[in-house]
Amino acid sequence: MELLGHYNYWVFAVALMIGFYAVIARGNLIKKLLGLSIFQSAVFLMYITMDKVEGGTAPIIQPGVPDQIYSNPLPQVLILTAIVVGVSTTALGLAVVVRIKETYGSIEEHEIYEADQPS
Amino acid sequence: MNLTEQLVALQIVVPLLSAPVVALLRPRWLAWAATTAASATAFAIAIAIALGVREGRAFGYQMGSWPAPYGIELAVDPFSAVLLLIITGASTFALLGGRLSVDTQIEQQRQPLFYAAWLLGLAGLAGIAASADAFNIFVFMEISSLASYVLIAGGPDRRALPSVFKYLIMGTVGATFYLIGVGLIYMMTGTLNLADMELRIHEVGDQSPILVAAGFITVGLALKAAVFPLHAWLPNAYTYAPHAVTVFLAACATKVALYILLRFDFVVFQQNLIGHDVKFSYFLMPLAVLAILVASGMAAFERNLKRLLAYSSVAQIGYIMLGASLVNHAGLTASIVHIFNHSLAKGTLFLAVACLAMRLDSLRLDGIAGAARNMPWTMAAFVVGGLSLIGIPGTAGFISKWYLIAAVLGEGPLGFLLVAAIVISSLLAVVYVWRVVETAYFQSPPDGAVPAREAPPEMLILTWTAALLNVYFGFASDLPLSLSSAASALLMGHLP
């Protein structure tokens, strides 16, 4: 059952590769950014998965509950930061795409490439 | 509570907190002055730290007084001291020498925002060098990367935009790979503090996740550092960035990624993973040799001056990786000295390019034909930087090439092949520097061109200061050498 027990990690690996594939294979800049977001979110999932302790609750110490099990809060805090980083990257990427559209009139990679070739 | 203890934190805090203030400052010269003041303060702090570190003093800071390994720790050792010197120095030189260049390239009302992004980039790069916490390094890396995307996109040429997009995609993929690696290590060791990580990896029973982490971190950071063949983002990003930004980023941005790469691979992995030194060598040495040969060859055929120098940067990163991939004290010393000396040489060259760009319309080689007749001082500084890049005795570049060749020769038969690669690449460097010199000195200016004037004096003074530093460190190489040697001893740790 170990294979199924690691099911979150499988989702992580598959989502990571889907995102990475989109980044590499798609010529549309928006689709590339979408791929990048999936790619980053997969990593967030990995962090969140590793902090989960079976039967664990929120890390709040309660009076009268001596050996309480709680999940590790640190990865969640880290990922909160990483999400902010991811949002800023996506926002900046979209801003660049808007300016590319304004100056080139296209968001297709090959059309932008061709527009800059000396004719 | 004295000031010396706070220096490491101030190194990051001064530029970080100046950034929002600068964004609000008007008129633009005030924004420039405040940025330069913050950068110069950071430079002064870096010099104070470097001198202190050389005397063997330790600089550390516990953020919020939370003790490491639970709190976030800043720590400066000789290796990070070298990096801090380069980062803050490059930023200060680029700001002082680049004011007029920025004036011509960036719209006036946007300049305060441009300078704010500059300070954020500086704070991020300095933060990477000073931090002793793996996740903190990731955050600083993203701060500096986001800022440098903004800075590069400020270039007036529209081709800056697609190059920034490419850099953004590749940079983010690299940083995310690093994040995966750090996550896997945290999973196995439960710590993010680098020093603590080194100790706890010993206790890990199953080493396969650590091995995977080593792969992710090495590849991710190699992408950020533009190690061949992951350098595709670099030439265009350097070419179309505003000239002042190119001076700043070319001198330090990729080196900072190399710094974390070396720090992780040597301190955290080498001493714990069995056979890691051999894998590290076998993986990186061929790439380093390819970078040295192929990128130098590309530079020799390139017709755009800035892209020519960018390809040369890829080759120089190859030299740095070659020294490191020997995995011994001499090789590592050579590569850290080369980090320092190459920053000096490339900084000088790009400052000279910024001077040329003030007076000439095109930076293609045919555009600078005959430039030395009208701009003798600029071109003379370019020649000094070029000589340092080639590694002519009497310049800083010679010192690092000398140490690198000495280290490589210690490798026996393989060493002779590597020396051959270094010599061929140096000859190619002679070729590409000579092509620029030949065009500027011996060809006549294009017909009908208005004779250019010499660059503005304030830019020339800075360019020449940088050029003379190349000569100074070619003779008095004690400071970079002693720091590099100490850094290398530290990285090698208890390795043979």
Over residues B238-276, the pLDDT tens digits come to 999 999 999 999 888 899 999 999 988 888 887 667 777
Question: To the nearest 10°, the Cα dihedral for B50, B353, B255, B336?
Answer: -60
Q: Which of A 27-66 lie inside 8 A of B, CB atoms?
A: 29, 32, 36, 39-40, 43, 46-47, 50
Give the range among A17-21, B47-51, B68-72, B142-146 with minimum mean pLDDT.
B68-72
From the number of C-beta atoms within 10 Å of its C-beta (0-12, 13-18, 19+), residue B266 rates as: buried
Residue of A nearest to B183 (CA): A47
Range list of H helices, chain A: 2-5, 7-25, 29-51, 73-104, 109-115
Planar angle of CA B125, B127, A97, nearest 5 degrees: 50
Distances (CA, A) of B170 to B128, B174, B220, B234: 19, 6, 9, 10
Chain A residue closest to B167 (CA)? Answer: A93
B423-438 tens-digit pLDDT: 999 999 999 999 999 8
**Amino acid at site B134:** A
Of A29, A43, A89, the CB nearest to B183: A43
Examine the pLDDT at A78 and tell me if it is beyond 60: yes
On chain A, the residues whose CB falls within 8 A of the CB of B142 are 85, 88-89
Question: How far, CA to CA in Å, does A105 sit from each of A109, A112, B161?
Answer: 12, 9, 13
pLDDT band with cut points at 50, 70 and 90 for residue A117? confident
The verdict on a CB contact (< 8 Å) between A43 and B176 is yes
* Closest to B36 in 3D by CA, of B123, B95, B120, B121: B95
The contacts of residue B106 (CB under 8 Å, 6+ apart) are B114, B154, B156, B242
**Subunit contact B158:A103, Cβ cutoff 8 A:** yes
- Name every chain B residue with its beta carbon within 8 A of the beta carbon of A104: 158, 161-162
Q: How far is A90 from chain B (nearest CA, A)?
A: 9
> What's the token pair of residue B461?
């003074």
Q: Does the beta-carbon distance from A23 to B173 stay under 8 Å?
A: yes
Contact call for A20 and B173, based on CB within 8 A = yes
Q: Please state, in angstroms and rounded to a whole number, the distance separating the CA atoms of residues A70 and A60.
A: 8
- Among the partner-chain residues B135, B164, B187, the one whose CB lies closest to the CB of A96 is B164
Does the beta-carbon distance from A75 to B168 stay under 8 Å? no
Please, what is the end-to-end C-alpha distance for chain B in angstroms?
40
Residues in A touching B153 (Cβ below 8 Å): 96, 99
Tell which CATH architecture fits domain A2-52+69-115: Orthogonal Bundle (1.10)
Give the whole-angstrom CA distance, residue B32 versus residue A3. 59
CB B390 within 8 A of CB B397: yes
Q: Give the model's pLDDT for residue B449.
A: 66
| Residue A82 with chain B: CB contacts under 8 Å | 138, 179
Residue A28 three-state SS:
strand
Q: Measure in Å the smallest separation between the Cα of B172 and chain A Cα atoms.
A: 8
Please tell me the predicted confidence (pLDDT) of residue B123. Answer: 94
Give the position of tokens 């990186």.
B284
List all residues 6 or more positions away from A14 whose beta carbon is below 8 Å from its beta carbon.
none
- If you ran DSSP here, which 8-state letter would residue B108 be given? G
What the block records as the tokens of A23 is 């980044």
ipTM for the predicted complex comes to 0.94
Task: Write the DSSP symbol of residue B61.
Answer: E
Which residues in B lie closer than 8 A to residue A32 (C-beta atoms)?
169
For the stretch B331-358, pLDDT in tens is 889 999 999 999 999 999 999 999 988 8
Instruction: Measure the CA–CA gap between B319 and B345, rounded to whole angstroms.
Output: 14
DSSP B266: I
Tell me how far CA of residue B298 lies from CA of B294, B311, B335, B412, B439, in angstroms.
6, 7, 23, 30, 18
Tell me if A43 and B142 make a contact (CB, 8 A cut-off).
no
Query: Is residue B283 within a helix (H) or strand (E), and if so which, with residue range?
Result: helix B276-290
What residues contact residue B261 under an 8 Å CB cut-off, 6+ apart? B217, B218, B221, B222, B225
Using CA atoms, how far apart are residues B231 and B212, in angstroms rounded to an integer?
A: 23
- State the smallest CA–CA distance between residue A62 and chain B in angstroms: 23
Per the CB < 8 Å rule, is A116 touching B187?
A: no
The residue behind tokens 């992004």 is B117
At A54, phi and psi to the nearest 5?
-60, 130
Q: How far is CA B165 from the centre of its chain?
A: 21
Q: How far apart are CA A43 and CA B134, in angstroms?
A: 16
* Cross-chain residue pair B169–A104, CB shorter than 8 Å: no
Determine the distance in angstroms separating the CA of B4 from the nearest CA of chain A, rounded to an integer.
Answer: 30
Chain-centre distance for alpha carbon B298: 20
Residue B452: what pLDDT?
A: 73
The domain ranges of chain A are 2-52+69-115
B273-277, B278-282, B488-492: range with lowest mean pLDDT:
B273-277
Cβ contact B168–A104 (<8 Å) = no
Cβ–Cβ < 8 Å for A90, A33: yes
Contact A68/B at CB under 8 A: no
Nearest C-alpha neighbor of B18 from the set B4, B33, B1: B33
pLDDT in tens, B461-470: 999 999 999 9
Find chain A residues with C-beta within 8 A of B168's C-beta: 89, 92-93, 96
Cross-chain residue pair A113–B180, CB shorter than 8 Å: no
B236 close to B298: Cβ distance less than 8 angstroms: no
Asked if the model's pLDDT at residue B224 lies above 80, the reply is yes
Residues in B closer than 8 angstroms to A92, CB to CB, are 146, 149-150, 168
Q: Exposed/middle/buried for B55, CB within 10 Å: 0-12, 13-18, 19+?
A: exposed
The dihedral sign for the CA sequence B376, B379, B381, B384: negative
- CA separation for the pair B485, B407 (Å, rounded): 13
Q: What is the pLDDT of residues B356-402, one digit of tens each?
A: 888 888 888 888 888 888 888 889 999 999 999 998 888 888 998 99
| Radius of gyration, CA atoms only, chain B | 22
Closest-CA distance, B162 to chain A, in angstroms, reads 7
A117 Cβ under 8 Å from any chain B Cβ: no
Look at residue B495 in the predicted model and tell me its pLDDT.
Answer: 61
The pLDDT of residue B280 is: 81
Residue B65: DSSP 8-state? G
- Proportion of chain B above pLDDT 90, given as a percent: 45
- Rounded CA-CA distance A44/A38 in Å is 10
The alpha-carbon gap from A28 to the nearest alpha carbon of chain B, in Å, equals: 12
How far, in Å, CA of B481 to CA of B458, rounded? 31
Mutation site, A6, A72, A92, A114, interface B, largest B CB count within 10 A: A92
Percentage of chain B modeled with pLDDT above 70:
98
For residue A30, give every residue at least 6 positions away whose Cβ sits within 8 Å of its Cβ, in sequence order, or none.
Answer: A94, A97, A107
How close B192 gets to chain A, by Cα (Å)? 10
For B212-220, what is the mean pLDDT? 91
Q: Pick the residue with more confidence: B183 or B60?
A: B183
Closest of B242, B244, B332, B321 to residue B287, by C-alpha = B321
The helices-and-strands tally (H runs, E runs) of chain B is: 20, 2
A chain contacts of residue B135, beta-carbon cutoff 8 Å: 78, 81
CB-nearest to A85 from B139, B153, B187 is B139
**Nearest Cα to B329, choosing from B188, B491, B187, B130?**
B491
> What pLDDT is stored for residue B200 in this prediction?
85
- Min Cα distance A4 → chain B (Å) is 19
Determine the distance in angstroms separating the CA of B399 from the nearest CA of chain A, rounded to an integer.
40
Residue of A nearest to B180 (CA): A43
* Residue among B23, B38, B48 nearest B117 (CA): B23
Residue B421 CB-density burial (10 A; 0-12 exposed, 13-18 middle, 19+ buried): buried
